[in-house]
Structure 1
Amino acid sequence: MSIKTEEVLTKVPEVTLGFWIIKILATTLGETGGDTLSMSMHLGYLLSTVVFAGIFLAAVIVQIRAKQFHPVVYWTTIIATTTVGTTLADFADRSLGIGYTGGVALLFSLLIGSLAVWYRTLGSVSINTVGSPKSELFYWVTIMFSQTLGTALGDWTADTAGLGYEGGAIVFGVLLALVAAAYYRTKISHTVLFWAAFILTRPLGAVVGDFLDKPIQAGGLDLSRFAASAVLLAAIALSVALFRQRPARLSH
């Protein structure tokens, strides 16, 4: 890749159908993977959060220090955000006792705050402006908050709202379809729609992940968390290999 080409490319992928397929698989893996450590391996929410936070920080450092877009590094970092998001949300909701509603409110505030500070500092929250270490740092902090919010929102929908895992999946699937329709049929900012879709894919993955591994009496399929996580990880690796991974073009 020439220097001239490098200067007009970001280190995040172009948003395509393949991007969203991999994102949903990654968020589902985040749920089953997070539950594997905290529940199946009995490490608890706090210790699991510490472990995943360490992986997340290491992945972010590698991603930011990279000179160009690397699909494996990028998607590894995404998976790290969604696993730490799962255990962190569960810790806040359950161990701290603030409940799903309190967790959703707190995390939504943090997400909006992150986007607001990012916009105020750099003038845009578009992924097409993620071309510097500072913008990347804002990008990954915002994603981590969105992944954590998605876990809490998925749990709130399935449990507090009483929709169950299947009902929650339908709700978030319909909302994503509406966002997609707005993208093609309205003049709503594509940046706003991107972040709306990015946020909504996380609770969709959360309820699908819970549906796969929760007990049958709780409305799940009671599948092995280890097996489900392994299958999802293999599906992500295959998708990254099959779907063309191109960096988004940088705009100023």
Structure 2
Amino acid sequence: MNQKNNMDNQLVFEDASAGSSLAEKMLNKVPEVTIFFWIIKIMATTVGETAADFLSETLNLGLTITTIIMSIFLIITLFYQFKAKKYVPKIYWLTVVLISIVGTLITDNLTDNLGVSLVTTTIVFSIALITTFVVWYRSEKTLSIHSIHTVKREIFYWCAILFTFALGTAAGDLISEGLAIGYWKAALMFAALILIDFLAYYRYKLNAVLAFWIGYILTRPFGASLGDFLSQPHADGGLGLGTVGTSALFLLFILSIVIYLTKTEKDKIKKSANY
């Protein structure tokens, strides 16, 4: 009898564990890290740069009005993102695009409206991002994006994402404009750093979580420099495609991929991962 009870208890424990594991996977609010993830991420960073310029300069809304409008849209989208019980591609990636724009605008406001230097903003946002990671890890004992299944972790996650975009904008502008390196050279430099991070992970077994966040941070200034190179006029070292054309082109690509992922569910997390 005791043996049977022990076996029954073990089965109950195993079923509860399996149910808990399944619930966590269903509640995970982020996509699988695939090639599609990085393609959309880079495009979103480019849109963040070009769309911010389009709204504030081309439409003459100004940085302050543009920041208020886009922040309101971001807050509304975040409401639906937090309300969702699992990863929903259209909501998640809309949030990423909007937070990319807002992150860009935050840096632009500090530098253009308040006169804060790019060196200072780069340092400040670096400290803010590191602090977020430290507090996140101390609280949750992990920085893995595949464990985003509680409200607290999702708050940490989006705070980190916002600071990566703000930092990337500051660092990208500092390299390409502040140091007068130029847009395409800055883009190539950040692309090289991303490649080094990629090789360090796949060839030299760099910690997966660390490699992911390094790549995530570097793709922001890469995308920003790429966006400026495509949209800015020839006189400023760009290709002169304009903010309208560049933004529309990349948004179309993002929309197409998100529709594809929604139908195929290729970026849904199907197994546990270490990043």
State the Cα distance separating 1:4 from its structure 2 match: 6.8
Structure 1 residues 248 and 172: alpha-carbon distance in aligned structure 2, compared to 1, 3 A threshold: farther
8 Å CA contact 1:166, 1:207 repeated in 2: yes
CA distance in 1, matches of 2:273, 2:260: 27
1:162-186 superposed Cα distances (whole Å, 9 cap, x missing partner): 2100100100100000111011012
CA distance in 2, matches of 1:186, 1:140: 29
Partner in structure 2 of residue 247 of structure 1: 269
* Identical columns (%): 37
Specify the SS of the correspondent of 1:236: helix
Structure 1 residues 179 and 92: alpha-carbon distance in aligned structure 2, compared to 1, 3 A threshold: same
1:93-138 superposed Cα distances (whole Å, 9 cap, x missing partner): 2211111111111111111111111111111111021111110011
Name the amino acid aligned to 2:87: F
Partner in structure 2 of residue 68 of structure 1: 86
Between structure 1 and structure 2, the one with the greater Rg is: 2
**Which of 13, 29, 51 does residue 69 from structure 2 map onto?**
51
**Which of 26, 39, 52 does residue 21 from structure 1 map onto?**
39
Larger mean CA deviation between 184-193 and 75-84 belongs to 184-193
**Which of 194, 212, 217 does residue 199 from structure 1 map onto?**
217
State the Cα distance separating 1:58 from its structure 2 match: 1.4
TM-score where L is the length of structure 2: 0.86
**Matched ranges for 1:1-252 at <5 A:** 5-9=22-26, 10-243=28-261, 244-247=266-269, 249=271
CA distance in 2, matches of 1:42, 1:99: 23
State the Cα distance separating 1:187 from its structure 2 match: 2.8
8 Å CA contact 2:232, 2:242 repeated in 1: no
Structure 1 residues 130 and 248: alpha-carbon distance in aligned structure 2, compared to 1, 3 A threshold: farther
- RMSD (Å) for aligned C-alpha atoms: 1.8
State the Cα distance separating 1:224 from its structure 2 match: 2.7
Structure 1 residues 25 and 218: alpha-carbon distance in aligned structure 2, compared to 1, 3 A threshold: same
8 Å CA contact 1:34, 1:86 repeated in 2: yes
Name the amino acid aligned to 2:24: E
Specify the SS of the correspondent of 1:11: coil
CA distance in 1, matches of 2:103, 2:271: 28
CA distance in 2, matches of 1:139, 1:187: 24
1:37-84 superposed Cα distances (whole Å, 9 cap, x missing partner): 111111222221121111111111111110111111110000011000
CA distance in 1, matches of 2:271, 2:122: 33
Name the amino acid aligned to 2:126: F
Name the amino acid aligned to 1:158: S
CA distance in 1, matches of 2:88, 2:117: 38
1:10-62 superposed Cα distances (whole Å, 9 cap, x missing partner): 11001011110111011111111111111111122222112111111111111
Specify the SS of the correspondent of 2:29: strand
List runs of 5+ in structure 2 lacking aligned partners.
1-18
1:203-242 superposed Cα distances (whole Å, 9 cap, x missing partner): 0110111112212111012223122211111001112233
Q: How many residues align?
A: 251
Name the amino acid aligned to 2:269: P
CA distance in 1, matches of 2:101, 2:224: 10
TM-score where L is the length of structure 1: 0.94
8 Å CA contact 1:131, 1:250 repeated in 2: no
State the Cα distance separating 1:8 from its structure 2 match: 2.4
